[in-house]
Amino acid sequence: MTAEARGSGIFARLARNLGWLAGSRGFTGVTSLAYLAIAARTLGPIGFGAFTLVLTYGQLIANFAQFQSWKGVIRYGAVHVTAGQPHRLARLFGFTATLDLAAGVLGAVVAVLAVPLAAPPLHWDAAQQQSAQLFAAVLLLTTGTTPSGMLRLFDRFDLLAYTEALSPAIRLIGSIAAWASGAGVGAFLAVWVSAAAVQMIAQWIAALMLQSPRPVFGRRGLIAAVHENHRIWRFMIQTNISSSLSVFWMQLGTLAVGSVAGPVEAGGFRMAQRLAKGITNPVETATRALYPEFARLVAEDDHKKLRHVLVRVCSIAAALASLAVVATGMAGAAILGFVAGPDFAFAHEFLFLLSIAAAIDLAEFALEPFHDAHGRAGRVLRIRAVGALVYLVLLGLLLPTLGARGAALAAIGTSLVIFAQFAISSMQILNRTVDCSREPSFQKTSPSVAPSAGVRRDPK
């Protein structure tokens, strides 16, 4: 097959998968805005702020506790599929699923025990503490991503789209019921975690229906999976921490605003953040479709085509980022008023600043899956760690005097630092792979023997 034909096949498959995910994300985006609009208008600024702080607390613990197991499924699963090793694939699925369960249980315990420590700065009373404990515990037990990784690995993005649509649909229906009955914060939190639980169950059912090896559990399977998947522990830990740090500044910012400026401003900041994140929702969609393609190209040692795909998608992303900032600047106030109502007009400035940060994230969206596919999880971790450190410094300097505006400015600074690091690192990887591709053929390792050999050249 010629390079042109291979490239056409990749983009055709990518377009198909993006179509399924875009439809799912589009539905999710619309229903999520509707859900937030109902919650904001039903609870008012004070109640919505209280809801926001409990929700953000649970999500923050979940993001740090849960492994990004879907990345491990794709990163190592692509190698086993290419090599025709279904038994290793089954043990890999069992390993990541076990990690999901263990992380969920441990995270739930931590979330419950940490609430008394978080209560004083967040001004929680006894009832709010109990709600935060229950919400966080249930959320932690419903966030495993192994089944979604299995669906992506085998190109069943159609099933992934259907299952991902369940959660926002349930939240929308539940929020309408809560609004009609005049329910409070607790009802909206219950709707949120119920939707997460239904989605997780549906994804497992869909994954087990695939014509693929079933997960193998047990001590022997776990030990074998560790030996069969080179540095999987290191990869899983690094991708988990780097992913946590990627949203750390958003969630910490909301909690910090709540502790300094109170729940009302925290609610406005969260609303603006959610609307700005709507810009990057297509980014997450494309990232999840790109990662399997990058992993396949790395496993097949096709670095020329990999470079072509990366340059093409980054160029498109940069153009979309520019349009996103212009659109938000012109229509941001109208969008905020339409969604949340006039009581949240004070959050317009937050929305514009956070949309700039989101646009910068949009411009570099393909660079993280590019690193992960090359096994550079450690490098991604360092980039995210530097970004988190920069955010903490900027937040400490700006939040006391500027409030939520300072948190939004800190987000812009953080996004710029992360983008610069990813861009420089990506150029280094591209230059290195091009140099390796020029070596005599007898110096290369055959992909059929070690399809991940190209990943191991630079463990950093």
> Could you report the per-residue pLDDT of 237-290, keeping only the tens digit for each?
888 887 777 777 678 888 999 888 888 888 888 888 888 877 656 555 555 556
Domain extents for the chain? Answer: 23-229, 232-460
Neighbours of 4 (CB within 10 A): 9
Residues 75, 233 contacting (CB under 8 angstroms)? no
pLDDT digits (tens, 9 = 90+) for 61-83: 988 888 889 888 988 998 898 88
Name the burial class of residue 186, with classes exposed (0-12), middle (13-18) and buried (19+) by CB atoms within 10 angstroms of its CB: middle
| pLDDT reported for residue 155 | 82
Q: Which tokens belong to 223? A: 């030990």
23: which residues sit within 8 A by CB, 6+ positions away? 161
What's the rounded mean pLDDT across residues 128-132?
Answer: 91
Q: Which of 37-46, 193-202, 345-354, 432-441 has the highest mean pLDDT?
A: 193-202
135 pLDDT above the threshold of 90: yes
Taken in order 124, 141, 290, 28, is the CA torsion positive or negative?
negative
Report the chain's mean pLDDT, rounded to a whole number: 81
Residue 104's closest CA among 132, 140, 138, 137?
140
pLDDT-derived band at 8, boundaries 50, 70, 90: low
Question: pLDDT per residue over 279-330, tens digit each?
Answer: 656 555 555 556 566 666 766 666 677 777 777 777 777 777 777 777 777 7
Q: What is the pLDDT of residues 16-27, one digit of tens each?
A: 655 555 555 666
SS3 68: coil
What pLDDT was estimated at residue 449?
A: 37
Handedness of CA 49, 54, 59, 64 (dihedral sign): positive
Burial (CB count <10 Å: 0-12, 13-18, 19+), residue 112? middle
Alpha carbon distance 394, 409 (integer Å): 8
Cβ contact 297:305 at 8 Å = yes
Around Cβ 169, how many Cβ atoms within 10 Å? 17
Q: Reply yes or no on whether the pLDDT at 28 is more than 80.
A: no
CA distance 42 to 180: 9
Written as six digits, the tokens of 121 are 């700065």
- Name the one residue in this structure whose structure tokens are 């709507």: 278
Distance, CA of 316 to CA of 18 (rounded, Å): 14
Under the banding of pLDDT at 50, 70 and 90, the label for residue 147 is very high
Residue with tokens 């406005």: 268
Q: pLDDT tens across 158-216, in order? A: 888 889 889 889 999 999 999 998 888 899 999 999 999 999 999 999 999 987 888 99
Q: Give yes or no for residue 435 having a pLDDT over 80.
A: no
pLDDT digits (tens, 9 = 90+) for 284-296: 555 555 656 666 6
pLDDT for 288: 55
Q: Cα–Cα distance between 112 and 126 in angstroms, integer?
A: 13
